[in-house]
Structure 1
Amino acid sequence: MKQGRQRGKDRPTDGEQSSERELVEKQVFLNRVAKVVKGGRRFSFSALVAVGDKSGSVGLGMGKANEVPEAFRKAVAKAKKNMRKVFIQNGTIPFQVMGHFGAGKVMMKPASRGTGVIAGGAVRAIMEVAGVRDILTKSLGTSNQMNMALATMDGLNQLMDPEEITNRRQAGE
């Protein structure tokens, strides 16, 4: 694999990026997959990892390999590439949102200070690495952790500064 810059893009390599800010990696789930072949079963692993800086940036990545550490490393690399900035206000989200992905839905509500992160497995991991301290969530639809994680990311991508929303609405009138 090549190190450094690719195709003229001015993106830092993994080594340069980690020195800029401290990123927290959290495993959302790890799955053992079996492929049945003539001689028996071949096992491989898939890992879903959330990466964030605990101050509003979060990414999600899936890695697959024949060994767990390699799957985890690939997932972390993909999560760093998929980092998104999330609007967080006083440790919570500014308004209620509903994230969707496949049959999975995640409802997220702002919570008062001291409430904590009220969330299930995949949603909790993403909220913690994003830096959300107080939130109420409810997972609806599927219980598939991959779909719940992607629905959570969809909901977080919907968040904007309320002042920015009012400015957009006034500009449109």
Structure 2
Amino acid sequence: MARRRRRDERVRMLDIDAWAPKTEIGKLVKNKEIATIEEIFNRGKPILEPEVVDALLPELEAETLSVSPTQRTTDSGRKMSFRVIVVLGDKKGHVGIGVGKNDEVKPAIDYAMLDARKNLISVKTGCGSWECKCGTPHSIPREVRGKYGSTEVVLKPAPKGLGLAANSVVKKVLTIAGVKDIWSFSRGSTANVYNMAMATMDALNSLNSMKPQPGDKV
């Protein structure tokens, strides 16, 4: 049975003071020449150092989506290890999925959180439901679809107060991203936690490549 951390757990931050950046983006962040994570996204640069995220988003939360035991054969016999999938974000429009592997669960979770930081994306929230005219960013601006492997996830704007009508994995990703109301449908390999999480990320990320339309309510 998968072991789970407490829901929406506060993330232990990395030591920014002791951080010696190795990348151009890292050095700019350390020197406070970049003040927001959006500046990095706008430059089209990847986040290669997890400390970049902690320096710009100090209030991260995370939840473990799954902990799966795996076995591999070595010269001394079979050895048990763990594969962990986590979702990490600030509930304010930023979210990432990470995977970590280790012989023990705790280090695997730590590795997954480092990986999630480097996979962070920005999520455009809005009020795109025809049933809602509140104008607040509680949902998403329009319907989007995401796909990963054989799994497809559809996200539709929902009226304020509906909540997250979605698969449990999709719901956890949206919660950490800061989306409060959604209609969601999924098809394909819906029992695969990683596929579901990544298809949801693909759907959310597609909002960033869409040009604003006259009917959008952001």
Taking structure 1 as the reference length, the TM-score comes to: 0.85
Which residue in 2 is equivalent to 1:80? 117
Q: Does 1:18 align with 2:66?
A: no
CA deviation after TM superposition for structure 1 residue 34, in Å: 1.4
The one of 43, 68, 90 equivalent to 1:31 is 68
| CA distance in structure 1 between the partners assigned to 2:91 and 2:23 by the alignment | 31
Q: Give RMSD over aligned pairs.
A: 2.3
Structure 2 stretches of 5 or more lacking a match?
A: 1-17, 31-48, 127-136
Structure 1 range deviating more: 152-161 or 54-63: 152-161
CA deviation after TM superposition for structure 1 residue 40, in Å: 4.2
Is the 8 Å Cα contact of residues 87 and 161 (structure 1) preserved in structure 2? no
Partner SS state of residue 212, structure 2: helix
Which residue in 2 is equivalent to 1:67? 104
Structure 1 stretches of 5 or more lacking a match?
A: 168-173
Alignment of 1:22-171 (within 5 A): 22-37=59-74, 39-89=76-126, 90-142=137-189, 143-160=191-208, 164-166=211-213
Deviating 4+ runs (over 4 angstroms) = 11-17, 37-40
Percent identity, aligned pairs only, is: 33
More strand by share: 1
CA deviation after TM superposition for structure 1 residue 37, in Å: 4.3
CA deviation after TM superposition for structure 1 residue 36, in Å: 3.6
1:39/1:15 CA distance change after superposition, 3 Å: closer
Is the 8 Å Cα contact of residues 98 and 112 (structure 2) preserved in structure 1? yes
